[in-house]
């Protein structure tokens, strides 16, 4: 990885943004319609157009590199360097006219993410991270914030309905510890949550069922800001990870979070959730309320 790779990644983000911005909230004018893919996720003309323009640039300027894209799959799979593209992470938010989606661009070397871009093209916010360098937001260094304990953490996930029943239990255990009075986590946000974590506004993000294009770009951004990312067992994320993701602003809190999830013996200051009810029809759950 070289400084030229970061410059190229920025140009990829510029090109994707030039496709996405004119189409944002265009559904209200009949400019496009959202379609549903086989995996039940949404896709639009903006997703396809943004990935297509990035792929064309890579094929022309980096012909020896591989590409892994959400919309158009893989090319040159045997290459040691792979560009991982998610043109619109958070298509549902894009369709709803909410500017909390983002374009994700990662460069992976031998299966490990070494460079990442989170670009919010409407608000023109761009987080850039690469191994060995400090993460920046629009060219200015950003940093995660420290936490003394799980209690008081600001927590986020895109949707609790993405969790299985067991995963929902683990999430709820952490929520109970972070919000002892009333559970009030942040819902929605997709990749934007991780960008806000890198800037010190959120402390913990938990997701499951992610694909490589969903998380590869996040790792250099979060870790370059002083945070850490792992799977739900605490292992580093690479091309073979299972799609369960923890992002922490303060790496010192990893064992506490794993304990709160129920992954290890709980210390005295970690509470176990009670009075919870799983909702089988939605795969989600209802929250217990503590004392007001």
Instruction: Quickly state the pLDDT bin for 33 (edges 50, 70, 90).
Output: low
Contacts of 219 (CB under 8 A, 6+ apart): 106, 113, 116, 129, 229, 237
Helix (H) / strand (E) element for 176: namely helix 165-178
Pick the most confident of 122-136, 178-192, 267-281.
Answer: 122-136
More confident position, 181 or 196? 196
A 10 A CB-CB count for 16 gives: 29
> Mean pLDDT across the stretch 116-126?
98
> Is residue 1 over pLDDT 80?
no
Q: What's the pLDDT score for residue 41? A: 62
Q: What is the pLDDT of residues 61-111, one digit of tens each?
A: 999 999 999 999 999 999 999 999 999 999 999 999 999 999 999 999 999
Q: What is the pLDDT of residues 237-270, one digit of tens each?
A: 999 999 999 999 999 999 999 999 985 444 445 5
CA angle 137, 143, 148 (to 5 degrees): 150
CA dihedral over 33, 10, 228, 238, signed as positive or negative: positive
Q: What is the pLDDT of residues 209-229, one digit of tens each?
A: 999 999 999 999 999 999 999
Distance CA 227, CA 146 (A): 9
- CB-CB contact of 163 with 279 (8 Å): no
């Amino acid at each position: 990885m070289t400084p030229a790779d970061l410059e190229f990644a920025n140009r990829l983000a510029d090109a994707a943004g030039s496709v996405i911005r004119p189409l944002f909230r265009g559904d209200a004018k009949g400019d496009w319609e959202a379609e549903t893919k086989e995996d039940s996720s949404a896709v639009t003309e903006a997703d396809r157009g943004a990935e297509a323009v990035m792929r064309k640039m890579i094929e022309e300027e980096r012909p020896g590199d591989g590409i892994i894209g959400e919309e158009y799959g893989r090319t040159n799979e045997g290459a040691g360097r792979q560009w991982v593209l998610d043109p619109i992470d958070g298509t549902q938010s894009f369709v709803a006219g909410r500017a909390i989606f983002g374009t994700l661009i990662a460069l992976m070397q031998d299966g490990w993410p070494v460079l990442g871009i989170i670009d919010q093209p409407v608000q023109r916010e761009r987080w850039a991270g690469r191994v060995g360098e400090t993460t920046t937001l629009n060219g200015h260094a950003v940093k995660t914030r420290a936490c003394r304990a799980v209690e008081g953490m600001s927590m986020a996930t895109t949707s609790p309905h993405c969790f299985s029943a067991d995963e929902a239990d683990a999430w709820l255990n952490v929520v109970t510890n972070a919000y002892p009075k009333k559970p009030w986590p942040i819902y929605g946000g997709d990749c934007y949550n991780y960008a806000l974590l890198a800037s010190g506004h959120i402390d913990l993000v938990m997701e499951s069922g992610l694909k490589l294009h969903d998380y590869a770009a996040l790792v250099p951004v979060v870790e370059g800001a002083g945070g850490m990312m792992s799977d739900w067992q605490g292992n580093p994320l690479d091309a073979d990870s299972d799609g369960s993701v923890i992002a922490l602003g303060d790496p010192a809190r990893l064992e506490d979070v794993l304990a709160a999830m129920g992954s290890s013996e709980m210390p005295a200051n970690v509470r176990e959730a009670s009075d919870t009810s799983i909702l089988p029809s939605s795969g989600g759950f209802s929250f217990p309320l503590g004392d007001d």
